[in-house]
Structure formats: C-alpha cells, structure tokens
Structure 1
Amino acid sequence: MSNLPVSSPAFKVAAFYKFADFSGFLSRKADLAQFCCARAIRGTIILAEEGINGTVAGRPEAIDALVDHLNETFPFQGAELKYSTADAMPFLRMKVRVKQEIVTLRAPEVRPSERVGTYVEAQDWNALIGQDDVVLLDTRNDYEAGLGTFEGAIDPRTASFVEFKDFVEKHLDPERDRKVAMFCTGGIRCEKASAYLLSKGFEEVFHLKGGILKYLETVPEAESRWQGECFVFDERVSVVHGLREGAATLCRACRRPLTPADRAHADYREGICCPHCAGEVRQGVAERQRQIALARARGASHMGDAAVAQAREDLERKQARREASRNRAGKQT
C-alpha cells in the first residue's frame, strides 16, 4: 500500500540514459525484467553495448528501488535521470530489450561515451540560442517538432533519426555553420547527434543538457522560448511547463499526436483517423468501421466499437487528470 498523500500523483515516471560500455551486462536482461515486473513497474528499457536507455513508471518506492538496483548492478552511476509524475499508469506493459544501439543512428564511427558536444544547462539555454550566429536545430522527428519546438529552431523533417545524417550532408556546412546548438526530448539523441557533427568537422557544437524535459522543469514559463507542447512516448502523450500533462492525444490509426485543433478538424474521426491520415485510411480500418456501421444498423454491437470507445475514454481520462492537476496546483498556491 502506498503512503502517498491523497492529493499526490499515484505514479512516478523515470526517464534515463547513459552511454557506457554495457557489453558485459547484456546477459542481465531477464533479471532486470524480473526485478521490474515483481514491483509492478511498466515501461521500456533498452540495453545495448553502447549503454542503457529507458522510461518506466511505477509507485515511487518501486522506482526508487529500481534506480538503486541499476546503480548497484550496472555501470549506471552518473546517468542522465529525470523524474516526473502521472495520475494514471502511462504504460501498458514492461519490456526490456537488447538492441544494436540505444538510439538508432547507424553511424558506428560515433562514440558518445568518448566525445560529445558542449553541454548547456537549461538556465543558460536562452542566452545561447539568442545569439545571431547560432544555428538552432531540433533533432527530433517531424511529428514531435510539429507539436512544439523552440522559437527559431530548424526542423529537419525527419521521419526517423537515421535520416539526420542525410539532413546534415545536404543542409549543414562546417565552414558556414560555425556554431550549432541542438536539442531533443531528454538529451539522448543530441549526445549522438553532437558526436556525429564533431566527426564531420563541426567545431562548436552545443546541446541542451537534460533536453526539453529539463528545460520545461527548470525555466519559468514567463521566461520560456519554448512554443507548444513536448511529445513524450507514453500515454500522457505530451507535457508542458512544470512537466504537467498537455492537451494532446493520440490518433489510434496513425499514432500521431493530436492538438485540440486537430480534434476539431473536419477530417478527425474519433478512433478512426485524423487530419494527418484521413486521406490514407488503411483498408483494415475502413473495413472495421464499415462493419461497425452494419452492426449498428442491425441494433447490434461490434468489437470494433472498442476502438472508438477507447479513444473517447482516453480523452476523458486525460481531461480528468489535467483538471485534477490544476486543482492540486491551486491548493498549493
């Protein structure tokens, strides 16, 4: 039984990563999964020879135990580690995976554990990106940048991080772009992206330490140069300043984040499609909806109704959590 006060969020969310030599620790995958499952922790942890990357949620005491376990069992000391909270469990299951890379770039010459760009603390970020000779680069994927980004940032419009290499080759020049500042959600992509730029001859490369999440946690909203919401890879969908849940939800067809304006769009069909995928509805989705319509015409139910009901339930639950969060904030002030 948790000892949290009634007004406290029920779940603690930990996002972490570290680039280090994990080659001798990959065999502990099963033990790590068992440790998490025994404590009802959910989320995803990725292990690779180059390090560890994960986002998990659980009761505060369970997450604290996991961090202690990682520090005792793996080369985890000094890892980039950020905490936030959630009123409902933001993950469906627990997964521990072994992969080739903890963040996929497919550039084996890049070794972030040996060389990366210059870290910039969140409180110093505004001063750096306000300089006229700094190229500000969003290293996230297009759907993430579309939900929110820093004022004046370049969106490479990549569908996957692997495409970042092509963007650099076509659009950046170390002779022209003398200062490059980059950012991502939690900092991990920038570790690799900055190391990659250094390997290509760029000399002054900076990246936001702790990523957007640290900035939203640290910098007062009145001083912020952040615009929009920050996409996160769990059922919270997005967060805003103070790491409070944002207003975005997910399209259940294409999995893109949706703003309130997206959900008000004529092409939005709850549980079926959104403005981003309305012209590309998969045959299976269309057929499912046709079967739902036929079943309703007969006065019967159809298992496809569950998708629409789930989307509606998700939205209502998210709105309820945001209202509860606002109420707590009001009581604290």
Structure 2
Amino acid sequence: MLLHNKLSKEELKKQLEKENFSRKTLSFYRYVILEDPQAFRDHLYLKWYELNCKGRIYVAREGVNAQMSIPKQNMEAFFAHMNSLTELQDMPIKWAVEDDGKSFYKLIVKVRPKIVADGLNDNAFDVTNVGNHLSPLEFHEQVSRPDTIVVDMRNHYESEIGHFENAICPDVDTFREEIDLVVDNLKDKRDQKVLLYCTGGIRCEKASAYLKHHGFEDVNQLHGGIIAYAQEIKQLGMDSKFRGKNFVFDERLGESINNEVIAKCHQCGKPCDTHTNCANDDCHLLFIQCDECREHYHGCCTDECNEIIQLPMEERVKLRSKFHDKYSKSQIYRQRIRPKLSQL
C-alpha cells in the first residue's frame, strides 16, 4: 500500500464528518536516538493508518513528536502498539483540554532533521543538561512569586491569545529568535529563578539547556507544558494562573483554559481569540478575526487580499509572484496588521 495520503483535503474532511464514532486528541514527544528514522516512520504510518489514526507526526534521528486523533474503539490497540516499540514504551501522554474529535483530518508522518525546528546547533551545547522539571502544581505555586522570572517560550501569535500571569512574552516569529532574545534580555539576571513554559514541554527541553549553557543558574520548566497544567489544575479544582486560550497546531487552533478572552480582533479591536488563515491562499496569514470582520472581509486579512480573491484565477496567478516578492509572512503581519492594531 501507499505510505502517504492521496485524497484531497475536501474528500478527507467529508470522510471525517461522516464518521459515526468518537475520537480523542492527544500529543506526546520523546528524545530518543533512532538508527533508521525512515524505516521507523514507515512502520508507524502503516500501523497507525490501519488503526484509522489521524494527526501530524515528525520523526528524526533525535526522536518523535506527535499530535494525533485516535478512534476511541482503537485506543487500546494504539497503546499496545506504542508499548511494543522500545522507543515509545511507557510514553507520557497529554490529552486535549477541549476536544470535538475533529482536530485532524488526515495522517501525516514525516522524517525531519529535528522533531522541532529550533534552529539551534545541538553540537554547540549539552542538550541533555536541561532545567528542573516542575510538576503543574509546583509550577502553579511558584509562578506568582516576586523572585521568579516567567518566560513564555512560544511565538507571539501563541502568547497573544493566552499566557501565564506576569509572564514575559517575547514578540518574535520563531523559536530561534526568541531563545537569543531571552538570553540577551536576561543576561543581568542569571542568578534568579527562571520558569519556562510552552505548549507541551518540548521546546523548553532545548531552551532550558541553552539557558544553562549561557550561565543561568536556576532554570526550571513546566513538565508537560500548558496542556498538562490545564488538566491537573482542573482536576484539583484550582483557579488557573494561565489566562485565555492555549494555541494548538491542529484544526482547532486553540483550546480555552479559563474561558477568558484576552486578545482582540486584528481588524476591529473587538474582544476575540479566534485564529484563522487568510482566505487569499497566496497570503494564508494566520491572524485573529471576529465573525463580523470575517463576513465583511470574506475571511481575508486586509482589503488588498479581499480584492485579490474576487479576481478571476488567471489574474490571481499573474499577481502571485509579485505578492510573494513583496511580502513574507512576518512582513505581512508587521507592516499591514500591526499598524492597524496600534490604532485600535
């Protein structure tokens, strides 16, 4: 059989809508050396396709990073398969906070140079010398202390819709930008307690090691990330110190942690934390848009993109190369969206 999907996005979504059973969304990662990443990837695809799993899984020589949707009736078989593989045995699992079973519509398993595109040279520092792992409860107890520095290790579009109280949220587009910015901005505070957090914990593994390499003495990280924190705090019946929504990299694009909306529509300023991709496929910018602006702009990020999608396809094709030459994704946000935000 083929080791990749060949159906269109529309066909796959129709299949998902017709399903008469429930799914559960979960995620996991592990740094473990894989001698043959391609063979391991092919094995995972065959077995997980057989179990009707969907999701996005990255396999690299350094390990596995997965976000998945599993049919409830196949859950036992899925975990039996995981535990049959030495590399995936006894894997810590993080369950989605909000889950409608529609988080993924196809199975993607890719071999990558790294399981997270961090841009770091792993040979330049000891990636195994990571910070202290704090349980969600330990993190909860320490996050508001005046002697701690809390750093959000995610990109600006993630922290914009939700973050911990008093957290430093760097205005960056990539992890690589952020890690250097954090080291530079906190260079005079290397002796203070630093608390790092991210979505599921994986980015903090490299970040904590990088900070320790640069002389930070007391580096700590939220074990299991925001996902684990939200689950445990809810189970304990405690008030969350994470405000807003947790951005997730699947069809949901976010899950509310404390039902608070802290962001605003990028076009009108109305309270809103719903991300969308610009309907102009040649732009496809991820931005925040309320229902009213979605209707007014036809799902586009600017008047320019709204005008483009009204054109015949032949005209859109002609404009495509000029558009891409003029703007990168970060330029679109910083030159076209951010000036409007400052006026809201």
Residues 172 and 263 (structure 1 numbering): CA distance in 2 closer, same or farther, change over 3 Å?
farther
2:9 is matched with: none
Write the mapping of 1:91-102 to structure 2, written as runs, cut at 5 A.
91-102=104-115
1:90 is matched with: 103
Amino acid in structure 1 at the alignment position of 2:186: L
Shift, 1:222, TM fit:
5.1
Q: Distance in 2 between matches of 1:257 and 1:53?
A: 25
Contact 2:247 2:255 in 1 (8 A): yes
Amino acid in structure 1 at the alignment position of 2:297: R
Shift, 1:141, TM fit:
0.6
2:28 is matched with: 16
Contact 1:18 1:51 in 2 (8 A): yes
1:314 is matched with: none
Shift, 1:177, TM fit:
5.1
Q: Distance in 2 between matches of 1:193 and 1:54?
A: 19
1:234 is matched with: 250
> What does the per-residue CA deviation read over 1:33-86, in whole Å, with 9 as the maximum and x for residues that have no partner?
111112221111111111110001020233442332222124123433112363
2:58 is matched with: 46
Kindly report the root-mean-square deviation, in angstroms, between the aligned alpha carbons of the 2 structures: 2.9
1:123 is matched with: 137
Residue 256 of structure 1 pairs with residue 283 of structure 2: no
Residue 289 of structure 1 pairs with residue 310 of structure 2: yes
Shift, 1:14, TM fit:
1.6
Contact 1:15 1:54 in 2 (8 A): yes
Residue 71 of structure 1 pairs with residue 83 of structure 2: yes
Identity within the alignment, %: 29
> What does the per-residue CA deviation read over 1:274-299, in whole Å, with 9 as the maximum and x for residues that have no partner?
xxxx26x45xx63322349xxxxxxx
Amino acid in structure 2 at the alignment position of 1:66: F
Shift, 1:129, TM fit:
1.2
Contact 2:191 2:217 in 1 (8 A): no
The runs of 5 or more residues in structure 2 that have no matched partner are 1-19, 260-271, 314-344
Q: Distance in 1 between matches of 2:208 and 2:91?
A: 18
1:270 is matched with: 298
2:49 is matched with: 37
Residues 241 and 52 (structure 1 numbering): CA distance in 2 closer, same or farther, change over 3 Å?
same
Amino acid in structure 1 at the alignment position of 2:94: K
Between the two proteins, the alignment pairs up a number of residues equal to: 274
Contact 2:33 2:62 in 1 (8 A): yes
> What does the per-residue CA deviation read over 1:175-218, in whole Å, with 9 as the maximum and x for residues that have no partner?
54521101001111111111111111111101111100111111
Contact 1:237 1:257 in 2 (8 A): no
- For 1:104, which of 103, 113, 117 is the aligned residue? 117
What TM-score comes out, normalization by structure 2 length? 0.71
Residue 27 of structure 1 pairs with residue 39 of structure 2: yes
Shift, 1:95, TM fit:
0.9
Shift, 1:264, TM fit:
4.1
Shift, 1:12, TM fit:
0.8
> What does the per-residue CA deviation read over 1:149-198, in whole Å, with 9 as the maximum and x for residues that have no partner?
01110111220112123213431216545211010011111111111111
Q: Distance in 1 between matches of 2:64 and 2:286?
A: 26
The runs of 5 or more residues in structure 1 that have no matched partner are 1-7, 293-333
> What does the per-residue CA deviation read over 1:21-40, in whole Å, with 9 as the maximum and x for residues that have no partner?
12345422112111111222
Q: Distance in 2 between matches of 1:188 and 1:156?
A: 18
Q: Distance in 1 between matches of 2:149 and 2:273?
A: 30
Q: Distance in 1 between matches of 2:298 and 2:171?
A: 27
Shift, 1:125, TM fit:
1.6
Amino acid in structure 1 at the alignment position of 2:274: A
What TM-score comes out, normalization by structure 1 length? 0.73
1:146 is matched with: 160
Residues 200 and 9 (structure 1 numbering): CA distance in 2 closer, same or farther, change over 3 Å?
farther
Q: Distance in 2 between matches of 1:192 and 1:155?
A: 18
Residue 205 of structure 1 pairs with residue 219 of structure 2: yes
Residues 111 and 16 (structure 1 numbering): CA distance in 2 closer, same or farther, change over 3 Å?
farther
